Amino acid sequence: MADTSHITGNWSYPTAIRFGPGRIRELAEACQALGMKNPLLVTDRALADLDIVARAVSVCTEAGLGCAVYSDVQGNPVASNVEDGITAYRAGGHDGVIAFGGGSGMDTGKAIALMVGQSRPMWDFEDREDWWTRANADGIAPIVGVPTTSGTGSEVGRASVITDERDHTKKIIFHPRMLPSIVIADPELSVGLPAPVTAAVGMDALSHNLEAFCSPLYHPMADGIALQGMKLVHDWLPTAVADGNNIEARAHMMVASSMGATSFQKGLGAMHSLSHPCSAILGSHHGLTNAVVMPYVLEFNRSAIEGRMADLARYLDLPNPSFDSVMTWVLDLRKSTDIPHTLADIGMEEQYVEKFAAMAEVDPPSATNPIPVTAENLAGLYRDCMSGTLAASG
């Protein structure tokens, strides 16, 4: 077996992370460290029957822990997924959550952990002003985060994105204690991801780092994390897509994902604002949608981010470092990983433009887009993304 010691480590930022191939074997120990005797493993439907879930459960049961699986979680989780999970948690007498999978499983698991000890509805904890202070912090269950993809970075996040079925909007549910206390980040768990999914989640990681780096807010620490996150994507995403068994590529992409979610405390932007209505209503994959809209949003923001993009190009050692060299890299990366070029390719139609633009205008990431957005210019952006027009709009 190849020596993987150079891609193994224990980190304490932004939470305790046990990183490296094979570290899923430490799952039971992590649960016990948080006082769990009977955790509920929350994952999505697509993972539930895979060997990696069975392996995680067996690690727990062999250590004497009870461990049940809740997997009634769809790709873009909705409130009923959380509510049913709360019912399963209480019925099984569970005492903690293993949030396992990609963004859907981890976000749902974290939301379940928040809500099992609350008397107020989940929407009362939306990420607005200080709404998180309404929660009974002592009622939040302990959480171990176990990522199996390399895009969302939810394992190092303090929030969950859940679709409100009443108005089909994605809402951010937030509490500082939703951050998993321990993360088991084992890149071996991502080896089975098909190439198209690897590409989509990898581009999601890029979008998080890239939008954070472009945010106009002042946060040099986030900027540094985002730069290195993008360097890892630059160096390793093509390899991870081409050779899914390359554990070093898988490892570096898993780190890039966590770095993106850590850096975007600085803010996101219109890539996410455009993407959220598409995934909430059309069911498009979030990371894939971010990848599709990425170059159009960069062009829209060009006048505000040219200097930042030149800095990024120098850090990535791109030829003739400039905004244009970053754009060329993004377009080439999308093409080499078979990302569609337009939103029309993934189901967006003219009939949705005005409605989605109005939703995107009030979506939280819009507040930190480098150029102010309105329903009007977002509608124009949607049309550019549908037609494949890369014309400056900002």
Provide the residue ranges of all domains of the chain, joining segments of one domain with +.
5-189, 194-387
Alpha-carbon distance of 67 to 57, in angstroms, equals 6
d(CA 34, CA 135): 20
CATH number, domain 5-189: 3.40.50.1970
pTM equals 0.94
- The SS3 call for residue 108 is helix
- Nearest-10 Cα torsion for 314, 317, 320, 325: -90
Protein fold of 194-387:
Dehydroquinate synthase-like, alpha domain (1.20.1090)
Q: Rounded to whole angstroms, how far apart are CA atoms 362 and 160?
A: 18
Which ranges in the chain belong to alpha helices (H)? Answer: 27-33, 51-62, 79-91, 103-115, 195-214, 220-242, 247-263, 270-277, 286-300, 302-315, 323-336, 353-361, 375-387
Which residue in 201, 34, 42, 26 sits closest to 107, CA to CA? 42
Residue-by-residue pLDDT tens, the chain, 394 positions: 577 889 899 999 999 999 999 999 999 999 999 999 999 999 999 899 899 999 999 999 999 999 999 999 998 899 999 999 999 999 999 999 999 999 999 999 999 999 999 999 999 999 988 999 999 999 999 999 999 998 889 999 999 999 998 888 889 999 999 999 999 999 999 998 999 999 999 999 999 999 999 999 999 999 999 999 999 999 999 999 999 999 999 999 999 999 999 999 999 999 999 999 999 999 999 999 999 999 999 999 999 999 999 999 999 999 999 999 999 999 999 999 999 999 999 999 999 999 999 999 999 999 999 999 999 999 999 999 999 998 654 4
Q: Are 333 and 238 in contact (CB under 8 A)?
A: yes
Bond before 14 cis per omega within 30 degrees: yes
Query: Which tokens go with 302?
Result: 């060009």
Strands (E), 123-201: 143-147, 159-164, 169-174, 182-185
Contacts of 163 (CB under 8 A, 6+ apart): 76, 77, 78, 79, 169, 170, 171, 280
**Exposure pattern of 98-112 as b/e (b: 16+ CB <10 Å)?**
bbbbbbbbbbbbbbb
